[in-house]
Structure formats: C-alpha cells, structure tokens
Amino acid sequence: MVDLSVNLNGFKLQNPIMTASGTYGYADEYDDFIDVSKLGAIVTKAISIEPKKGNSGERLFETYGGMINRIGLENLGIEEFISKKLPILKEKNINYVMNLAGSTVEDYIKAAEIAQSAGIKAIEVNVSCPNVKQGCLEFGTNPNSLGHLTSEIRKIYKGFLIIKLTPNVSDIESLAKSAEDNGADCISAINTLKGLGVKVEITPDKKIKKTFVQGGLSGRCIKPVALSMVKRIKAVVNIPIIGIGGIANIEDILEFLTVGADAIQIGTENFCHPDITIKLINELTKIIESLNLESLDELKRKLRDE
C-alpha cells in the first residue's frame, strides 16, 4: 500500500492533490463527478467578510493553452460560508482550506478572527487583492505590506496559515521570505498572471468590433512560470510549498515535486476534466509503485536527489 500522505508543517493531507481556489466552489460541488472526500484538500473560492457580486460584463476569455478570468471575487461572504457550506464539508468529511480575500488589513484580521472562532483548521490568504488604503497596490507585491499583513493575521489565527503568492512581481524571493519571517506556515504559488484578452472582429458591414478582457491568466500556458517561481521560492524558504499553475497531468505533478513543491493544486483543468484530481491520485500511486517505492516522501527524495 503506497503512502501518499503529506504532512505540511502540521496540516495533514491524505495525498498531495488539492484543488485551487476559484475552480472548485466551496464544498461538494463536484460530488456528481468524484468523491471529493478522497482529495488531499479542496481550497474554497476566495471568501470576503461581506458577500461580493463580482464584476459585470464578460468574465472569461479563452486563450491558447489557458484562459483569462475577471470574476471579481464574487462570493457568498464569510457568514454564509460558515452557516451553509461548513456543515457540508464536515458532514462529508472533506478536508478543506478556506481562501480569504480582503481590501484592507482590517478585513483580513476580521476574517482571521472568524476563521479562528469557527475552528477552521487552515486558511490560504489571497494577497493578490488591491489594498484600498495603499493606492490599491496589491498586498502581495510589496514585501513590507505582505509581511505586515501576514504578521497581523498570525497574531490572531492559530491554525495553518498559507500565503498564496502572486507571480506579478519581479522579486518573488523577498516576498516568500517576508511571508515566512512573519509567521506563515506554508506558501502556495502561483496565483494567476495578469493578462489581456483581445478579440478584433470585422463585422459583415465592415465595422470593427473589439472585445477586451483584462484579468488573471491561468491554465497550462502558465506552468513554466509557476515552476520557475516554485523553484526560486524553494531556494529561499524552509516552510512547505504548494505548487499551482497549469497542472493537468502526472508529468506536471512530477515536475512540481522535483522543483520543490510538497503538494499541488489543480485549478483550470478541473473545468475541462472534472474528475482529473482522482485520476491523478491513481496515477501518482502507480508511478510510486513502478519505482518500487513505498511513499510520496520517498518519491520526492528520489526526484530531487537524482
């Protein structure tokens, strides 16, 4: 029996396959396709203190090898999550991480307090949100503001604290380090890349019709960026790393494990193949068996040492 379990600094997963925020709902939404309780953990859609309606207009744009979204953090708000979704997660024994989003440090503090009192074991902090008090620059682009945010959350929240880094920076190392130094238990990387989808059509009456969708690029096309970021982060931190970005098959998982990921999240690929997570858990087991190894930990060592 192959042991796929992962112990991320105290937060235990039965296997390293998680699902990325925004692609998997809040709880058992994929239950028609797979037994969600078999996953390492799901990460909820980003949740804010108040419910959010998100952006109006077109929200999606398919690109070569990926897609751009500008959902605008539409979500049901933390209270409804706790009253309606948390009971489902508990009843169905689904391991989960609550993803948090906010516009001010106070928002995150308040959310962390609620998470703490609701007994939520793990949170992932989305730091790609604009900080409205600091000129709407994203929290995750400046090591000082990221460090401040992390330490403020850390003071309140005693559970497993994951900081999800944005790739839209030039110096990922200093951000990862800042998260670690200020109390993060784990880093997940990467969030979406900033991208612009443009469509130019010539109408039958010879007019130009333009469509623009500015948002976050995800999907297979971002994998090389994600691999590079994970490798660079691994070089500077000692806390575990969850790799995210364009993972769609077992080879991708091996690549992420090789460069330093301890677990991985599947995002955009869930849309196309809603059962991809379970397939990859099975394939990972087979790979480990084929190498005559007994555990994921042994596989990681082999991938990194040889």
For the question of residue 272 being annotated catalytic, the response is: no
Structure tokens at 281: 């858990």
Binders in 60-89 for other proteins, by CB under 8 A: 60-63, 65-67, 69, 71, 74
Rg (CA), the chain: 19
Q: Which stretch binds other proteins (CB under 8 A): 21-29, 77-85, 133-141, 225-233?
A: 21-29
CA-CA-CA-CA torsion for 281, 287, 290, 295, nearest 10 degrees?
Answer: -70
Query: Does 24 sit near other proteins (CB under 8 A)?
Result: yes
Encoded amino acid at 142, one letter: N
Binders in 116-135 for other proteins, by CB under 8 A: none
Instruction: Compute the least distance from the CB of residue 6 to other proteins, in Å.
Output: 25
Q: In sequence order, what are the residues at sequence separation of 6 or more whose Cβ sits closer than 8 angstroms to the Cβ of residue 204?
A: none
Q: In sequence order, what are the residues at sequence separation of 6 or more whose Cβ sits closer than 8 angstroms to the Cβ of residue 163?
A: 124, 125, 127, 140, 146, 150, 179, 184, 186, 187, 188
Query: Does 232 sit near other proteins (CB under 8 A)?
Result: no
| Residue nearer to other proteins on the CB measure, 5 or 271 | 271
Q: Which stretch binds other proteins (CB under 8 A): 54-62, 82-90, 94-102, 150-158?
A: 54-62
| Residue nearer to other proteins on the CB measure, 69 or 145 | 69
Query: Does 273 sit near other proteins (CB under 8 A)?
Result: yes
How many Cβ atoms from other residues are within 10 Å of residue 274's Cβ? 15
Q: Which stretch binds other proteins (CB under 8 A): 6-14, 24-32, 120-128, 135-143?
A: 24-32
Asked if 259 contacts 232 with a C-beta cutoff of 8 angstroms, the reply is: no
Choosing from 15, 21, 23, 166, the residue that interacts with other proteins (CB under 8 A) is: 23
Choosing from 5, 9, 12, 29, the residue that interacts with other proteins (CB under 8 A) is: 29
Query: Does 33 sit near other proteins (CB under 8 A)?
Result: yes
Q: Which helix (H) or strand (E) holds 154?
A: helix 143-156
Structure tokens at 211: 């469509």
Nearest to 267 by CA among 32, 71, 54: 71
Give me the residue label for tokens 């800042």.
Answer: 178
Which residues partner with 186 through β-bridges? Answer: 162
Q: Which listed residue (129, 186, 221, 272) is catalytic?
A: 129
Residues that bind other proteins (CB under 8 A): 22-25, 29-30, 32-33, 45, 53-54, 56, 58-63, 65-67, 69, 71, 74, 219-220, 268, 270-275
Q: Give the catalytic positions in this structure.
A: 129
